[in-house]
Amino acid sequence: MKKNLKFIALGVIAALAVVSCNSDKFTINGDIDNLADQNVYLARDGENGFVYIDTTRADNGKFTFKGKLDKNDFLIVTFADMPGEIRIYADNSDIDVKGNLSNLSDVKVEGSEAYDYYKTFLDEEKENSDLYSVKAEAFHNAKQNNDTAAMRAINKELLEAHKAYSKKVLEKANARPGDIVSLIMAANWINTMNLDDFAAFYAKVPDEIKKDFRISYFANVADRMVTVSKGKDAPEFSLDGINTADTVSNTSIKGKITAIYITAPALDGNEEVLESLKAAKDKGVDVVIAYMIMDDSSVKDLDDYVKKNHEEGFLPVYATQDFAEKFMAINPRTFFIGKDGKFIGTAMNSEEVKEIVSAL
């Protein structure tokens, strides 16, 4: 009967949450078509698999569980004589569960405010998945036709869509920082999220949630992201200049305001960010362009690229893999570091760069 706990991975919604409860008991009324009379079990997630907490008997497809939750959480319904499960993100309320045994993943759950909140993410994730499928096909067709312009346009459209949805996720999460599913969703989309905005949300998340065994991986990612957010000390680094003997390090920039744009050659958005960084340069900010190098063979190509495209007044440097990992630079980002060696702010795009520069 026991089933292994299905751990979640980055980009997949977690099936759990924690918020205060409005009632003191829950009732789950199940009505599943084509369900033969048999034992039905109610379980919770445990570190080593399901923890079974109640048993009842199905009668003509109907069954009922009653109990009490200390906090909103997922409850799992399983069956004695067949595989499959129903995961109900539950609170202390009267919850109706209706569906067909042939499609347990599509049951209808009503009466739970916690489940309604969770389902908004499910619905939005499906919309994002559908959009990605459409764009993936368009990208494949463009690639078959060697249409690089179309390929770049599709990539840019998807990135902008992801950034917009990231903001939406964070707005919802900020309204419910005591809910684990809020943290999970924010962590899922952190790659296209402003790190300072995420750090402000993460500071409101209770320690109980950060330590929950079901999100240990996400909490680890979040903890690392926060280390490079506003107010934190910049990590140690030393980067060699491209086509120059100059170097830059965390010690050499002390006493100056420095902007470090971590990117790769010829990426969409580079021109806009570099243009916005000119205003920073005009305000006395030292601007460093850290170009990612993937392997030794890419160094010469990068050298040639910088010779042709170098922006006067900016210092181009090689961004090592170790440096990128320390700065959690999964996507292009601009980091502003103050005279004291602490981060002033991070920017995902040219507009966010302008906001930081205007405040200097």
pLDDT in tens, 301-359: 788 888 887 778 899 999 988 898 888 877 889 999 999 999 999 998 899 999 999 99
**% of the chain exceeding 70 in pLDDT:** 92
- In order of start, what are the domains of the chain with their CATH numbers? 26-109 (2.60.40.10), 116-226 (no CATH), 238-359 (3.40.30.10)
In this structure, the strands spanning 315-319 and 286-292 are parallel
Between residues 206 and 13, the one the model is more confident about = 206
Question: 177 pLDDT exceeds 60?
Answer: yes
Which stretches within 176-311 are classed as H helix? 180-188, 195-202, 207-210, 216-226, 270-282, 297-309
State the greatest distance between any 2 C-alpha atoms of the chain, in Å, as a whole number: 80
pLDDT in tens, 268-300: 788 899 999 999 999 999 999 999 876 655 677
Question: 13 pLDDT exceeds 80?
Answer: no
Give the pLDDT score at 233. Answer: 95
Which structure tokens are listed for 187? 């962590």
From residue 25, alpha-carbon distances to 18, 28, 70, 91, 324 in Å are: 16, 10, 9, 8, 49
**Is 62 in a helix, a strand, or coil?**
strand
> What global pTM score does this model have?
0.76
Taking residues 204-228, report their average pLDDT.
Answer: 88
